[in-house]
Amino acid sequence: MNKFNSYFTMTESDVVQYALSELDFFAPDAELTCKEIGDGNLNYVFRVEDAKAGRSLIIKQAGPVARISDEFKVSPDRNRIEAEILRLQHDLAPGLVPEVYKYDAVMNCCVMEDLSDHEILRTALMQHKQFPLFAEHISTFMVNTLLFTSDVVMNHKEKKQCVKQFINPDLCEITEDLVYTEPFYDCPRNDVYPPLRSFVKEYLWDDEALLLETAKLKFEFMTNAQSLIHGDLHTGSIFVKADSTKVIDPEFAFYGPAGYDVGNVVANLIFAFLHAESVMEEGAEKEIHLDWLLTTIRDIVDLFKTKLMEAWQEKGTERTARFKGFPEYYLDMILQDTAGVAGLELCRRTLGIAGVKDITSISDASARERAEKMCIVMGKRFIMERKQMKNGADFTNVVAAAGEVYSRS
Ligand code: SR1
Ligand code: MG
């Protein structure tokens, strides 16, 4: 009996057997090594290598519960969504997504291109590396995957089929809870840095005007089936090298507001900014790095705007979407969502269960407290002032202003 005919969670040696018996990739007598390399919150990621032949691949398996905590029971069907979306995004944004070799609906795993010549963007940014082409690449990825899956470009009936195909209730529930709900009250599952507690209570939890805006944003997330979004586009979901960017991990994908992806990218670059600001020694190197991060944030927003408008003219099919003023109105809504989501992401990674290493690794206690307060201050401002965020400079001005409020003394 073939042991891979019914689902179980694989160990490294199971994965070697799987690669030899279920895939047509390695020679039958290849000497394979396998290492579990995942450090995400949900899945197991194995790298399998035939060192002699210089060939390798990645096998990603979904377990029945999240890796971060078995409180989260998440359907392994997320692996189907991930494989299908990766294939779709690979077509929509060529060169910016890894190739999928196989999806296995029994073992809930997906076999894909190994990107070991790239590095995870979050890790690279924490080592203060720069990627001058990143803004160009990620803005193209977002315009192609977000606009081309929307009603502006797609046939409306086909788009509705896609909405159905990519319904993703378990993963959406995680986002609704972890991003939109729990950070805004004293939820037992939160992980609040103790020196911040009284500040957070007064500044966020007791502010009814802010709570109202988070409710509006949550309903926007749950009801606006605008584009097939990646759904978790943080810097840990992006591989980079000097001349290449590859977006991975779209298991949170579903039809939601396009600004969700753009806002996540912006917020996670702000975490990188705060990391560098907190740990780098004063001097030219630090100035250059911080300046590059701000320029990258500004460029991503501005390139996204320009490319979206160009693609709209070139590929838009919906007649009414060409009415004078409509593209500008639509883009304005995406930018509002972008700012709102950037604000939510800044708050939830600071207060919620799923923190980010950029912040949690800051070892100096007062530097960490300062960085976390800046996240909260910026987060609230992005949420409350989202209607005023019209271009890249509006976003980077919020970062610069927070730095001035909390300047080192
Ligand atoms: C239970 S999953 C926690 C977080 O990890 C994922 O990458 C998403 O960001 C999610 O919110
Ligand atoms: Mg992920």
State pLDDT tens for residues 126-159. 999 999 999 999 999 999 999 999 999 999 999 9
CA of 43 to the centre of ligand 1 (A): 11
Buried b (16+ CB within 10 A) or exposed e, 199-229: bbeebbbebeebeebbeebbebbeebbbbbb
pLDDT at site 409: 45
DSSP codes, 248-263 = --GGG-EEE-THHHHH
Q: What is the pLDDT of residues 202-261, one digit of tens each?
A: 999 999 999 999 999 999 999 999 999 999 999 999 999 999 999 999 999 999 999 999
Tokens of 36: 């579990």
Tokens of 51: 């060192």
Question: Nearest bound ligand to CA 172?
Answer: 1
Q: Which residue owns the Cα nearest ligand 1 atom 11?
A: 175
Query: Distance (Å, rounded) from C-alpha 76 to C-alpha 285?
Result: 45
Query: Distance (Å, rounded) from C-alpha 67 to C-alpha 42?
Result: 5
What is the average per-residue pLDDT within 116-125? Answer: 96
Tokens of 348: 């939830």
Alpha helices for 280-352 (secondary structure H): 284-315, 326-351
Tokens of 374: 């800046």
Q: What is the pLDDT of residues 64-108, one digit of tens each?
A: 888 888 889 888 888 999 999 999 999 999 999 999 999 999 999
Decide: 252 and 168 in contact? Cβ < 8 Å: yes
Question: Atom of ligand 1 at shortest distance to CA of 42?
Answer: 2
pLDDT at site 405: 73
* Single-letter code of the amino acid located at 104: D
Question: Atom of ligand 1 at shortest distance to CA of 237?
Answer: 7
Q: What is the pLDDT of residues 154-186, one digit of tens each?
A: 999 999 999 999 999 999 999 999 999 999 999
CA of 202 to the centre of ligand 2 (A): 32
pLDDT at site 404: 79
For ligand 1, say whether the CB of 356 is within 6 Å of any of its atoms.
Answer: no
CA of 119 to the centre of ligand 2 (A): 15
CA of 41 to the centre of ligand 2 (A): 7
What pLDDT band is residue 408 in, cutting at 50, 70 and 90?
low
Q: Enter the pTM of the model.
A: 0.96
Where do we find the tokens 């606009």? Answer: 147
User: Considering the chain, what percentage of its residues have pLDDT values greater than 90?
Assistant: 93
What pLDDT band is residue 407 in, cutting at 50, 70 and 90?
low
For ligand 1, say whether the CB of 232 is within 6 Å of any of its atoms.
Answer: yes
Of the listed ranges 31-35, 65-69, 287-291, 302-306, the least confidently predicted one is 65-69
Buried b (16+ CB within 10 A) or exposed e, 341-374: bbbbbbbbbbbbbbbbebbbebeeeebbbbbbbb
CA of 41 to the centre of ligand 1 (A): 6
Which of 262, 43, 239 is CA-nearest to residue 145?
262
pLDDT for 39 beyond 90? no
pLDDT at site 68: 85
Q: What is the pLDDT of residues 321-379, one digit of tens each?
A: 999 999 999 999 999 999 999 999 999 999 999 999 999 999 999 999 999 999 999 99
Give Cα 402 distance to the centre of its chain: 23
Question: Nearest bound ligand to CA 74?
Answer: 1
For ligand 1, say whether the CB of 178 is within 6 Å of any of its atoms.
Answer: yes
